[in-house]
Amino acid sequence: MSRNKLYILLAIACLVGYSWLFFNYRSGAETDPDGPGVCLIKEVTHIPCPSCGSTRSAISLLHGNMTDALYWNPIGFLLGIILVVVPLWLLFDVVLKKDTFFRFYKKSETTLEQKKVAVPLIILVLANWIWNIFKAL
Amino acid sequence: MEAQKVDMFIMMNSKFFEGHHLSQIRERLLAMDESKWGILQTLQFKDPTTILIVSILAGSLGVDRFLIGDTGLGVGKLLTCGGLGIWYIVDWFLIMDATREKNLAKLQMVLY
């Protein structure tokens, strides 16, 4: 993937992410976990997927409820950090015509493909998934 | 390289590449040194149909993207429930071409 393609894709993803958060913030999804969902796994099998609850987590973060955010889904923290950092980093790169983020992306891809990094992360995601199923999100 | 060998390679592996790339691949292979034939034979390509099945079954976990080597996009898909379910469906239509692109990139590593 080229630099520009990645940047456009990420910019669109961040835009969609922020609109999704805004939409859910307005409709109070935090208090209504049984509202209409977009997660196909949950809609079809009634079993939550590893990232179910991260919207509720991010909205709890916006309200400043750290413990609630952690309870709903720890992935929400990660998404929150990405949503803050990535647009700023992209803006920095685009304005200064650099490719620091692109190189970081490529480097982290090769890091993630190493077994000693990938296996613990897969175990973490699986553990989070099992926790999600127990919480019945 | 001999035209017979090249045509055999193209016949066996045409489904792994996009149609409009095949003639270019053929020309490149014909111009290639004979000594690389061995390496060429050991290359393992990803089957676009298999990846499409994975994409339909486990696409919202990003497994399809991980399999073809797009680790970054795979993580993105995993963390966002398959991009709020939209990317999951869009990828049913994109993943086969993406797989063929990755196969071409793999072949190019040997060709150049």
Contact B85 A112 (CB under 8 A): no
A75 at the B interface (CB within 8 A)? yes
Identify the residue with better confidence: A119 or A36.
Answer: A119
CB contact under 8 A, A50 and B72: no
Q: What are the helix (H) ranges across chain A?
A: 3-27, 40-45, 54-63, 66-72, 75-96, 100-112, 115-135
At residue B99 the predicted structure's pLDDT band, cuts being 50, 70 and 90, is: very high
The distance of B71 to chain A (nearest Cα, Å) reads: 6
Three-class DSSP category at A101: helix
Average pLDDT of the residues in A41-46:
78
Residue A7 predicted with pLDDT over 60? yes
Q: Count of domains in chain A? A: 1
- Say whether pLDDT at A136 is over 70: yes
Mean pLDDT, rounded, of chain A:
83
List CB contacts (< 8 A) between B67 and chain A. Answer: none
Which pLDDT score, from 0 to 100, does residue A30 have?
A: 52
Report, as an integer, the average pLDDT of B56-65: 88
SS3 content of chain B, % helix, strand, coil (to 5): 85, 0, 15
* Segments making up each domain of chain B, as ranges: 3-111
Is the ipTM higher than 0.85? The answer is no
Average pLDDT over all residues of chain B: 86
* Burial call B92-104: b when 16+ CB within 10 Å, e when fewer: eeebbebbbbbbb
Contact, A14 vs A83, CB < 8 A?
Answer: yes
Confidence tier at A76 by pLDDT (50, 70, 90): confident
What is the Cα–Cα distance from A21 to A33, expressed in whole angstroms? 14
Q: Which residues of A touch B75 (CB under 8 A)?
A: 112
For residue A31, what pLDDT is reported? 52
Residue A52: domain span: 3-135
Q: Read off the pLDDT of each residue in A80-94 and give the average, rounded to a whole number.
A: 89
- With CA atoms as reference, the chain A residue closest to B66 would be A113
